[in-house]
Amino acid sequence: MPIRPILRYPHPGLKTVCAPVTVFDSSLTALADDLLVTMRAAPCVGITAAHIGVFSRVTVLELDRADDVRLYVNPEITWSSTEMMSHAEGSVSMPGATDEVTRPRAIRFRYRDGEGFTHEESAEDFLAICIQHEVDQLDGIFWLQRLSRLKRDRLVKKWEKAQD
């Protein structure tokens, strides 16, 4: 379970649409374990395989250490509410940069677990925001794309300056 290097913005891999997982074996378990230790070391509450340069539809969430770790393989959102919610978002690939993003407050989604079994669940509030954020990343949509051009340009400029 090594801590993996995280791709940093603006790495082109962060725009990659991830491929569905078709094999549910020990390599998937090892990837999920690596994602968990990398996420905890970052630290953050969610990470996708794309963040470490593995372009497979796998994400791990741990909203609170007291909660169970959530592994979502091939997650897809099947319904979104019309009620919206704003929340500060950022990325493990762009540490220290955050801004308000508006997304649907509630969703329904389908995913497979580490053994390949399909599940359908509903989520709302912070969990719904996190799942939408990670599914976006799996679809090659970096969270900055959810900001207005003006906000995005300001944030990127500020972040780049902080990297010097």
Active site positions, annotated: 134
Tell me if 32 sits within 8 A of 111, measured CB to CB. no
Tokens of 157: 């400029």
Alpha helices, DSSP H only, in 5-124?
26-41
Kind and range of the H or E run holding 156: helix 149-163
**DSSP 8-state secondary structure symbol assigned to residue 144:** G
Give the Cα separation of 101 and 109 in Å (integer).
20
Tokens of 121: 């669940």
Give the Cα separation of 102 and 97 in Å (integer).
16
**Nearest of 68, 64, 57, 70 to residue 135 by alpha carbon:** 57
